[in-house]
Amino acid sequence: MKKLLSLLLVAVMVLSLAACGQQGPAASGDEPYKAALLLNGTLGDKSFFDSANEGLEKLRD
Residue 8 has pLDDT above 90, yes or no: yes
According to the model, what pLDDT value does residue 26 have? 65
Which DSSP state fits 41? S
Residue pLDDT, tens place only, 21-59: 667 676 666 777 788 888 888 888 888 889 988 988 898
- Cβ atoms 35, 59 nearer than 8 A: yes
Question: Considering only CA atoms, which of 28, 27, 37 is closest in space to residue 58?
Answer: 37
Amino acid at 57: E
Burial annotation 41-53 (CB, 10 A radius, 16+ → b, else e): eeeeeeeebeeee
What mean pLDDT is predicted for residues 7-17?
91
Q: What domain range includes position 28?
A: 1-60
Q: Number of structural domains, the chain?
A: 1
- pLDDT-derived band of residue 12, with 50, 70 and 90 as boundaries? very high
